[in-house]
Structure 1
């Protein structure tokens, strides 16, 4: 069991944050043991081809049979708006001694996988390159959808605190977590044991890729609890496209629904995942809407993000005052 003692101002310094790096690293558990993550099987299948160009050896070495991951790859995020680029930049500056310590803590001193052997700076560089490639190919197209669910969880927990208090929120995070007096107890399945103060606050991090609540392996790491976000069962379910009847009659239900949805920019891959269809099918509709002047496409790295044009905005929410009279 891990115990975090909240003293004085620490009680008011319990914060929530979201970490793209945490999510991309913890998702590797679903590679190693997909049967443990049945709710993500649709996603695992959807990125199967994209995985072929990745550094499998390094990525799979970042978890062990217990599904543990090194502490330095699960940093305490600063806010709900943390960006992966910022986290990778910070990761590149980490003390090599900490890298070696955390890899040994997961795999044991004499049993490091081949991809993790060698000078710590070189190993760290290889890890960062592997994670960046994984993010681009398998994660980035789906991240807006993932982030929306995580942000929804944070909003729910904040409301719990305001309505029912801190203890009710902690006790609702997981059956393994509870607040007893001023101590947060996390009952772990492992033999990990320590008690420490929070020294400036405790960070709570929702995740799509954890079944049980977890903490850093090392007592020296900043206090943090990673817990399962609410609503993961709905994450990969196809979402219906809603569109006004007149617009659907004009454009067809799918294209009208896409036009309504694309008030917020999205890629064809993200839309295909959200709707449970192939990117090829979505691209046909996007191309027709773009050719008709209802969408614009803007390149963002390797992806093209589509959004409504001013004409598309007018069709979805017409302003009668703009028509000649």
Structure 2
């Protein structure tokens, strides 16, 4: 078990951010180890036929073992970074860090340091350029068609965790994050780690990063210098590949109208107008119009997260649905 103890300062230095580059590396890992990831089956079926030899510089770095090279998952500098900014940070990675991470990859997954991974170890500068080109190709093939939906889910999680932190402190943030993550008396316990190990944070804080493809596990980086980080499964992951609509709330629809009742039923987690249109089959303009009415009635609230405006139902709306 791993235990991370927080100082008083660290309790106020928890921050939240997602990472497109982190989704790239965890997505490749999911493709390598699909067992137990049935929720992503629709994505697997679409993506696998598109993978080709031009992706080897990326695929060789994620052979499917327990360790993902840390330099593939740089610590985000903002809550909602874009891929271009993260690729710039990847290009600037010191060569000694790349080699150290690849040596650890060879230790954790014997035989992994071959092919393009070995070329990167020997010649980091040209190897990084080949890696960036492979990541960009992978993004176009596997991520870009689905990124708007993924980003909405990730940004909704950031909003939820921030609200939980404001209202309930760290205990609210970690509640329900993952069955193997527990918070008690300023100490975070990660039961997934097989060895006993502990670390006391000394002002560097903790990064919490929701992820689409880390599900059903989680990742942690606590034994490296710098800010500790935990990558955990995003909330409402089961809704990502859903098609169709939510069952009509019935009696409530007769009072406030079918479309508005349908939207309220979908807003158990934050969502954008685009996401709601996809889920319900309503036109984007109609969704926007109905949300405006629900907002005026105090049945939904809206919050800007990054580039998206996300809506979520209020406690008043929840009471109507429960009734």
TM-score of the superposed pair, with normalisation by structure 1 = 0.69
With 27-36 and 16-25 compared, the bigger mean Cα shift is at: 27-36
With 20-29 and 150-159 compared, the bigger mean Cα shift is at 150-159
Q: In the superposition, relative to structure 1, how do residues 141 and 197 fare at CA in structure 2: closer, same or farther (>3 Å)?
A: same
| Structure 2: gaps of 5 or more residues | 247-271, 290-323
- Aligned residue in 2 for 1:100: 99
Whether the aligned pair in 2 keeps the contact of 1:4 and 1:223 (CA below 8 Å) is: no
Contact map agreement 2:7 2:200 (CA 8 A) in 1: no
Whether the 8 Å contact between 1:63 and 1:69 is mirrored in structure 2 is yes
Contact 2:222–2:228, Cα closer than 8 Å, also in 1: no
Task: Please give the secondary structure, in 2, of the residue aligned with 1:27.
Answer: helix
1:145 aligns with 2:149: yes
Q: Hey, what's the Cα distance between the residues in 2 that align with 1:87 and 1:227?
A: 19
Cα 1:125–1:192 shift into 2, 3 Å: farther
Give the Cα–Cα distance (whole angstroms) in 1 for the partners of residues 200 and 224 of structure 2. Answer: 7
1:18 has 2:23 as partner: no
Match of 1:197 among 197, 201, 223: 201
What is the rounded CA distance, in whole Å, between the counterparts of 1:145 and 1:28 in structure 2?
A: 18
Distance (Å, rounded) in 1 between the aligned partners of 2:222 and 2:204 = 19
Distance (Å, rounded) in 1 between the aligned partners of 2:152 and 2:89 = 24
Deviation at 1:263, TM superposition (A): 7.4
Tell whether 2:230 aligns with 1:230: no
CA distance in 2, matches of 1:143, 1:95: 29
Q: What is residue 279 of structure 1 aligned with on the other side?
A: none
TM-score when normalising by structure 2: 0.70
Contact map agreement 1:97 1:120 (CA 8 A) in 2 = no
Q: Out of 192, 207, 210, which is 1:206 matched to?
A: 210
Superimposed CA distance per residue, residues 258-278 of structure 1 (whole angstroms, 9 cap, x where no aligned partner): xxxx976x9xxxx9xx68xxx
Query: What per-residue deviation string (whole Å, max 9, x for no partner) do you get for residues 269-324 of structure 1?
Result: xx9xx68xxxxxxxxxxxxxxxxxxxxxxxxxxxxxxx99xxxx69x97xxxxxxx
Q: 1:115 to 1:36 in 2, by over 3 A?
A: farther
Q: Secondary structure at the match of 2:4?
A: strand
Once residues 173 and 105 of structure 2 are traced to their aligned partners in structure 1, the CA distance between those partners, rounded to angstroms, is 31
Following the alignment from structure 1 to structure 2, what is the Cα–Cα distance between the partners of residues 131 and 141? 15
- Partners of 2:222 and 2:207 in 1: CA distance: 15
Pairwise CA distance, 1:2: 3.3
The DSSP-based 3-state class of the residue aligned with 1:4 is strand
**Mapping 1:64-79, distance limit 5 Å:** 64-79=63-78
Question: Which structure has the bigger radius of gyration?
Answer: 1
Alignment map for 1:151-230 (pairs within 5 Å)? 151-191=155-195, 193-197=197-201, 199-210=203-214, 211-216=216-221, 218-230=223-235
Higher deviation after alignment, 209-218 or 35-44: 209-218
Q: Which residue of 2 aligns with 1:46?
A: 46
Report deviation, 1:129. 1.5
Q: 1:26: how far off? A: 0.5
Aligned to 1:203, the other structure's residue is in SS state strand
Q: Work out the CA distance in 2 between the residues paired with 1:195 and 1:101.
A: 21
Partners of 1:227 and 1:193 in 2: CA distance: 20
Residue-pair matches, total: 260
Compared with structure 1, are the counterparts of its residues 62 and 191 closer, same or farther at alpha carbon in structure 2 (3 Å cutoff)?
Answer: farther
Task: Tell me the distance in 2 between the aligned counterparts of 1:196 and 1:148.
Answer: 34
Cα distance 1:180–1:64, how it changes in 2: closer, same or farther (>3 A)? Answer: farther
Render the CA deviation track for 1:6-31: whole Å, top value 9, x for unaligned: 21221111111010110111101122
Rate the CA distance shift 1:146–1:16 in 2: closer, same or farther, 3 A. same
CA distance in 1, matches of 2:194, 2:72: 19
Give the SS at the match of 1:69: coil
Shift of the 53–104 alpha-carbon distance from structure 1 to 2, 3 Å rule, reads closer
